[in-house]
Chain A
Amino acid sequence: MNLAAHAPILAVAVPLLGAFALPLWAKLRPSLRDLWLVLVAGATAALTVLVAVQVYTVGIQVYTLGGAWPLDTLAPGGFPIRIVLAVDALSAFMGLITALVAVVGFAYAWRYLVEDEGKTLALTLGTLLWAGMLGMAFTGDLFNLFVFFEVTSIAACGLVGYRTWASRGPEAAFKTMVMYTVGGLFVLLAIALLYGEYGALNLAYLARQITGSVVDRIALALLLGGLLMKAGAVPLHMWAPDAYGEAPAQAVILLVANTQISLYALFRVLFTLYGGVADPAIGWLVVALGTLTLLVAALMAVVQMDLGRLVAFGAVSQIGYMLLGVGVGLTAIAARPAYGLVAIQGGIFHMLNDAVAIGLLFLAVGAVEKAAGNRNLANLGGLGHDLTWTTGFFLLGSLALAGIPPLNGFASKLMIYQSSFLLSPILSALAILASILLLAVFVKAFQGAFLGPKLSQPKPVPVPMLVAMGVLALGVLALGLFPELVVRHLVAPAADALWTGRDLYLRAVLGR
């Protein structure tokens, strides 16, 4: 068996099957379950990296299910009826983000989760969510996008609400589930409209056929609505702070990666599917939603007294920066390719930076909750005396998120500021304003929770949790100190895949 050729499907299948085997191992013995999780997570991460290396060095990887040969995308007659996985640089980039987040999250969960409080459930659902995210990133046809969308929805809501002995978790999970399900149904309706018009589900085939008719526009509006619901963009963000606030910390960073995967699906739809009939008005719509998101979420963060919800609104506002960057790119790229490309690179680079920085913050909040027993800023204080490392990690993450040089948030936000300035100076002024607001919010949170006199003796934070946070903290520093390297080798190919790489993508799947 040629491992490299089969790696895309194995990267989805291994965590999917591995997740369902986890509870069986746990029945025998928890240590067997942990061993199995290490094997599954290691294999999945290795396969994702293998796919990414193949994509970055060789080119787009295509895998056909049910064909005689992985590259047999077309049935006799030149019509793509089989299920196709198509991995280009952007998909591989998203795959790498999920792998990083999942591995760090599982390392953190080892000592963060308590054995008789549903640890097996949380690990199983986390692995399942990872499988769904990889499926969404790698799939090459619309219907499987919907199926994996729902896989991630169910796993994510399970993670938010599995702690049924408390009342807040299930409530947040129900809200989230309603939003995700309606979003999923919008996506399904759009798929039905496109299928009714063109009789195909393959993304590349549809991209060739699409004409921009009224039905196509309705389908685009539905896809936009459905995917933005899942990405948590204002005004569809109501679920996000609840879910981020109530889920356990290692699940929250998976949920953040999940919102980014929905954004990836949105960009795939906007650029690859509708790239041939691109309309600057859609770009402006995305820009407007992005600006609204980053501003409203930053303002909402100011009034929060719960540390988890405060960071959650910070996470929502970061989604706005990604939308702003890519929206500016969509608006400007036809007229000024160089600027548009920088904007898209900024948006995509910010995904990685956000996953690392906000992940670090959420893990630090989880550590605070475990050590001090609550997260309310009114009751916290003086944790910096005992939790030295956690304090440092929280400070590093919040400065990175507020865009302070030389940390990683600054590197990508600068690209977004620069390129949105060209479109309209007001946009970059608003984006900078939101960053300043976030800085104020995090200063307040840091001062309230970590500085001041010692209020009580917190429990020590277990070492595996510190190691997991340390990995992300190293990422914050490395991405901030060497952004050029990352942009040139990882982000630029991913951004190219959206615009100039569109024809390559279509040709890789359709063969012509």
Chain B
Amino acid sequence: MIGNTPFVVCMVLVLLGLWALLFRRNLIKVVIGIKIVENGVNLYLVATGYVRGGIVPIYTYAPPDAAMVLPTPQALTLTSIVIGLATTALMLAFVVVIHRHKKTLDGRKVTELSG
């Protein structure tokens, strides 16, 4: 049971982020909510690759019979972090433009499009 703690913590992070996404009106906080979800997912990915007592997965440095942590989830997480950077930058750029036009960040007040 105790071995599942990291996964549970990641899921709690994901839910917290979704809560922020749904119930916060400030657009910056919405972006922060998305970032929290993303970090929860990234941590989950890293946690899946954890091997107890494992070492850095660099083949040439490892002693002959050492257990290594899985490298694939780490590669995936790196990719996902880079993608996350791009999406966050783009979203924040849109927030800046919206603020320039409307002089507010309140999600309810900026809405022109509905129905």
Contact = CB atoms under 8 A, between A and B. Distances in A.
Contacts of B95: 174
B111 to A, nearest CB: 7
Nearest to A168: B112
B45 interface: yes
A76 interface: no
Interface string A158-179: 1001001001101111110110
23 contacts: A143-B79, A147-B79, A150-B87, A153-B87, A157-B94, A158-B90, A161-B94, A167-B98, A167-B102, A167-B112, A171-B94, A171-B110, A177-B90, A181-B38, A184-B87, A185-B37, A188-B45, A192-B48, A195-B48, A195-B72, A195-B73, A199-B70, A303-B115
Interface string B1-25: 0000000000000100010010000
B98 A201 contact: no
Contact of A147 (B72, B83, B101, B110): B83
Count class of interface residues, chain A: 35 or more
Contacts of B44: 189, 192, 196
SS of B interface (majority) = helix
Contacts of A189: 14, 41, 44
B62 interface: no
A178 B91 contact: yes
SS of A interface (majority) = helix
Interface string A179-195: 00110110011011001
A153 B34 CA distance: 15
Contacts of A178: 21, 30, 34, 91
A435 to B, nearest CB: 22
A170 B96 CA distance: 9
Contacts of B37: 182, 185
Contacts of A175: 113
A448 to B, nearest CB: 18
Contact of A170 (B72, B76, B80, B101): B101
Interface string B39-78: 0010011001000000000000000000000101100100
Interface string A217-261: 000000000000000000000000110011000000000000000
A161 B90 CA distance: 10
Contacts of A184: 83, 87
B31 to A, nearest CB: 8
Given A143-B76, A154-B90, A185 B34 contact: yes
B110 A177 contact: no
Contacts of A164: 97
Contacts, number: 96
Interface string A279-310: 00000000000000000000010011000000
A173 B112 contact: no
Kindly name the residue among B18, B44, B86, B94 whose own CB sees the greatest number of chain A CB atoms within 10 A: B94
A304 B41 CA distance: 39
A188 B79 CA distance: 11
A81 to B, nearest CB: 8
A241 B80 CA distance: 29
B16 to A, nearest CB: 13
A150 B76 CA distance: 14
A78 to B, nearest CB: 17
Given A161-B94, A242-B113, A177 B87 contact: yes
Contacts of A195: 45, 48, 72-73, 76
A192 B72 CA distance: 11
A213 to B, nearest CB: 15
B87 A174 contact: no
Given A161-B97, A185-B34, A177 B113 contact: no
A342 B37 CA distance: 41
Interface string B82-109: 0100110011001101100110000000
Nearest to A200: B72
A177 B30 CA distance: 11
A379 B15 CA distance: 46
Contacts of B87: 150, 153-154, 177, 181, 184
B90 A157 contact: yes
Nearest to A163: B97
Interface string A190-212: 01100110010100000000000
Contacts of B14: 189
Contacts of A154: 86-87, 90
B76 A177 contact: no
Interface string A114-141: 0000000000000000000000000000
Nearest to B102: A167
A161 B112 CA distance: 14
A150 B48 contact: no
Nearest to B111: A171
